[in-house]
Amino acid sequence: MNFRILHISKRDTGGAGIAALRLHRSILDSGFESKFLCLEKTTNVPQIEVFPKFYPRFYYRFLEYFGICVTNGQKNNQRLKKVHKYIQPEMYSFLRSDYRIHEHPLCDWADIIIIHWVAGFLDYKSFFKHIHHNKQVFWYTHDFSLILGGFHTLFDAVRFKNSPIQSLENQLKVKKRSYLKDYNQLQILANSHFSYNTITKDGFFNKKNIHFVPLGVPSKELQIIDKSIAKQALGFGKDEFLVLTVSAQLSTPRKGIDRLLEVLSNVALEISPLKVMTLGSEPFETSIDNVDFYNMGSVWNPNFKSIIFSAADVLVSSSYEETFGQTIIEGYACGTPAIVFNNGALPELVEPGKTGFTATDVKDFSKHLMAMIQDRSIGVTLGQNSLTLFQRRYTSKHQVKKIIELFTSKTEVKSDNSADE
């Protein structure tokens, strides 16, 4: 059975954008038809089409100067300014946009539509009202925006529960669900058990429409490189122990950098100097005695990324909430084990004592990191197991297989129902 699959994502970068792009490429490699529709394109991957950007007319921009907003984008900007008067969430978005995605020719072309990260791109009202009911539409849970109002994470929803914008949040949540009811066949692709359980517990979506499909990384995208060679390629000594942490925005409270700094401080009391590589757009804007930070910046080149992940002796994540954890399996693809806190989806990816460790608190985390530094053989064994687990469970090939099986079963059910009618 052949499918024409359309991915819709605001951009082809960022965590969700990269995940969407990997899936698109892997589906193409599997011999199926796949196309990618986005608003912001940075890569040269085949079958990507850019949705024409909407620019308000000069007259509208002139009126906005005097506080009169005409377009949805202008109205959203004004609303966001009001939100930011009271709180500073990681992300807050609204339901209306100036883009009519459902009118794009690719939506007519597709049998199956997968919605990825679409804040400010998808207009909920028009899309779910007008998208044809003969289309199968799936939503991948790269965050929890689908079950919240304007927030994108449970972390922020809880953190600002008693803030002055709570009434706005409640209104957006109710309105979003009224739009979603216009298309009652929406299927959810939960990328972790944490996502699956959270959305199931929410109760808005029928449990039979929620499916567990973890993300994957193409097996040939990242390559394992000899650790000594990788370390020296980056300018480190071949025997130096390197810690790696990955985050696009280290300053985001959800990433838990506060407790990671506490861990590093604890370990640095015994190990000096402790060398830490940071991968992402923001360097650490702090200093800790006996800890040397090396910011590698934002790295998109898979060859350079392979060197960084292979050079690291351990990947550490202090995040309070992730719906999956792509960086963990990127590390596994390069034979690098991980230490994570017991929050969100990350503990699902780590087999304690086999591919890394899970920690209940800072003290526990520090203990595991210290043990790996003092006994390098632990990391060697964990690294070998990590690569094995990646190859067994987290390649894009596994993800595509599950998705195609799901699409096939849903198509057969739909055909049977149509025949009964």
pLDDT (tens digit, 9 = 90+) per residue, 179-213? 999 887 899 999 999 999 999 999 999 999 999 99
Answer yes or no: is pLDDT of 151 > 80: yes
- What average pLDDT does the segment 244-272 reach? 91
Q: Write out the E strands in 305-394.
A: 314-317, 338-341, 356-359
Query: Which part of the chain has CATH 3.40.50.2000?
Result: 4-217+396-420, 227-393
Q: pLDDT-derived band of residue 248, with 50, 70 and 90 as boundaries?
A: confident
Q: pLDDT-derived band of residue 130, with 50, 70 and 90 as boundaries?
A: very high
Q: What integer best gives the mean pLDDT of the chain?
A: 93
Predicted pLDDT of residue 129: 94
Matching CATH number, 227-393, of 3.40.50.720, 3.40.190.10, 3.40.50.300, 3.40.50.2000: 3.40.50.2000
- What average pLDDT does the segment 55-81 reach? 68
Burial of 351 (0-12, 13-18, 19+ CB in 10 A): middle
Cα(221)–Cα(204) distance, integer angstroms? 37
Q: Where are the alpha helices (DSSP H) in 251-354?
A: 257-268, 302-311, 326-333, 346-349
Predicted pLDDT of residue 31: 95
Cα(243)–Cα(188) distance, integer angstroms? 36
pLDDT tens by residue, 21-43: 999 999 999 999 999 999 999 99
Nearest to 283 by CA among 292, 270, 274: 292
Q: pLDDT-derived band of residue 414, with 50, 70 and 90 as boundaries?
A: low
- What average pLDDT does the segment 269-287 reach? 86
- What average pLDDT does the segment 53-74 reach? 64
User: pTM of the prediction?
Assistant: 0.93
Predicted pLDDT of residue 57: 58
DSSP state of 33: E
Q: pLDDT-derived band of residue 152, with 50, 70 and 90 as boundaries?
A: very high
CB 72 within 8 A of CB 96: yes
Predicted pLDDT of residue 132: 84
In angstroms, how far apart are the furthest CA atoms of the chain? Answer: 73
What tokens does 95 get? 């339901």
**Alpha-carbon distances of 42 from 8, 45, 49, 56, 405, rounded to whole Å:** 15, 9, 11, 23, 31
pLDDT tens by residue, 221-245: 999 999 999 999 999 999 999 999 9
CB 176 within 8 A of CB 149: yes
CATH fold for the domain made of 4-217+396-420: Rossmann fold (3.40.50)
What is the torsion angle, in degrees rounded to the nearest 10, for the CA atoms of residue 27, residue 210, residue 9 and residue 28?
0
What tokens does 388 get? 């094995």
Q: Which amino acid type is present at position 239?
A: D
pLDDT tens by residue, 134-146: 899 999 999 999 9
- What average pLDDT does the segment 127-152 reach? 95
Predicted pLDDT of residue 75: 86
